[in-house]
Amino acid sequence: MNEQDRLYNILMEQGSIGRKNGRRIESPDLLTESDGVTRPAGTENDKKTRDYFVSLCRKNGFEPFIDIYGNIFITLPGKESDIIMMGSHLDSVIDGGMFDGAMGVFSALEVLIRLREEKYKNRKTIVAAAFTGEEGSAFHQPMLGSHGYAGLISKDDLWKLKNRDGKDFKSAMQDIGYLGTSEFTGKPGYYIEYHIEQGPMLEKMNMGIGIVTSITGQCVIRVNIKGIQGHSGTTPMDMRDDALVKAAAIIKNVNSTAMETSKKFNNHSVGTVGELNVEPNRFNVIPGHVCMKIDLRSEASDSLHYMKDIVISYLKTFKAPVQFSIITDVEPSIMSDDVINAIEKSLSDLSFSSMKMPSGAGHDAIPISKISEAGMIFVPSHLGLSHTPLEWTDFSYIEKGVQVLLGTVKNLDAEK
């Protein structure tokens, strides 16, 4: 089996883990809405995916190290202690896709295998990492393992986080056998994350590779809106206090503000309300309470602050009182020029089409960029779809991305 067939079979096999029907799907034409991949951190499906990854590591001569955050590391030792790290995550959203995160982890392993097979003499130590809980689909907060590894959250604070079933992080990871007893020593000088784009731009521009320049900052605002619950048939329209109607006005403001910001700054700025909890949530009852989350993102600090200021000002002066709090406030992460240059050099050697672009989604590269020179490589998402069972990336693009990743690692290894 050649190296391309090996990676292809690995990615197809891991893609079946977490599907209710367990199907192995090798074409986007075969995907349906019933083929979602569900493997939140600390669940049985997360364990199965980890077990598969660990078995492949050992089969290929790499002994995994599991740290106190559940992160998995494998190492190709070099003459020097300086570390080049590749990484991403194995967990998924509920009913997500088969490539989001996992492609980068299994591809990082593939790069280590190819380096060993070609008897490459690396100067620096090269590490592949699978970080825990990037999606936040289990413990309500994203990028848990990478935040822990980067020292941005303490062990005690991380361990006591509770998932949607009320189980704390420590217990959940112990239950699946992936809670280590010590930290992984050493921090990377360089970090590269290989990922699907999760958006439409590469496909739209007919480009095979995306070179990420920045990862958008994010502000998440929780809003509570009160109204008066009442009978939908007997309460006259001019006597209603409908909490959902108030919420709709706020949603409209978020949408118009994001559109204005994107045009004003000519960049990637977006605003979304994707989570609404309506009470009592009955078709024949006027909503008395709505809790929702506003998700504001932008590739630049000035546009993020502009958008945030407008939305918060609107909430403060809203015609009816609302309660709100900021639960996430993260500045954009600018990717390293050194890593971008190494990616570009790899691309010039391979002659693949590429474009520079921001990432609209969050990634483990955000916390790792606080302790390392970080960069990201994107490959196209079919129809721009991700976080859906219909997510797909053609293997021809995946293989090109792995070649770029391999070349980038070599270029960074040559850096003094």
Find out whether 134 and 88 touch, Cβ atoms under 8 Å. yes
CA dist 223 and 35 (Å) reads 33
Which pLDDT score, from 0 to 100, does residue 350 have?
Answer: 95
Single out the residue in 294, 313, 330 at which a domain terminates: 330
Q: The CATH number of the domain where 173 resides is what? A: 3.40.630.10
- Mean local confidence (pLDDT), 380-403: 97
Q: Are residues 203 and 107 in the same domain?
A: yes
Q: Are residues 56 and 161 in the same domain?
A: yes
pLDDT tens figures, 10-21: 999 999 999 999
- Mean local confidence (pLDDT), 124-152: 96
Q: Are residues 22 and 154 in the same domain?
A: yes
Q: Are residues 39 and 69 in the same domain?
A: yes
Residue 331 has pLDDT above 90, yes or no: yes
Q: Are residues 314 and 339 in the same domain?
A: no
Q: Are residues 325 and 227 in the same domain?
A: yes
Under DSSP, is residue 326 helix (H, G, I), strand (E, B) or coil? strand
CA dist 307 and 2 (Å) reads 50
Instruction: State how many domains the chain has.
Output: 2
Q: Are residues 208 and 227 in the same domain?
A: no
Q: Are residues 13 and 109 in the same domain?
A: yes
Q: Are residues 195 and 150 in the same domain?
A: yes
pLDDT tens figures, 157-179: 999 999 999 999 999 999 999 99
pLDDT tens figures, 193-204: 999 999 999 999
Q: The CATH number of the domain where 255 resides is what? A: 3.30.70.360
Residue 321 has pLDDT above 90, yes or no: no
- Mean local confidence (pLDDT), 314-342: 94
Single out the residue in 297, 312, 330 at which a domain terminates: 330
Which pLDDT score, from 0 to 100, does residue 374 have?
Answer: 98
Q: Are residues 211 and 226 in the same domain?
A: no
Q: Are residues 142 and 55 in the same domain?
A: yes
pLDDT tens figures, 65-105: 999 999 999 999 999 999 999 999 999 999 999 999 999 99
pLDDT tens figures, 195-240: 999 999 999 999 999 999 999 999 999 999 999 999 999 999 999 9
Which pLDDT score, from 0 to 100, does residue 416 have?
Answer: 77
Specify the length of the chain in residues: 416
- Mean local confidence (pLDDT), 181-204: 97
Q: Please state, for a pLDDT cut of 90, what percent of the chain lies above it.
A: 96
- Name every residue whose Cβ is closer than 8 Å to that of residue 214 and which is 6 or more positions away in sequence: 299, 300, 332, 333, 334, 335, 358, 359
Provide the whole-model pTM: 0.90
Single out the residue in 267, 302, 330 at which a domain terminates: 330
Q: Are residues 200 and 76 in the same domain?
A: yes
CA dist 150 and 23 (Å) reads 36
Q: 49: domain range?
A: 3-215+333-414
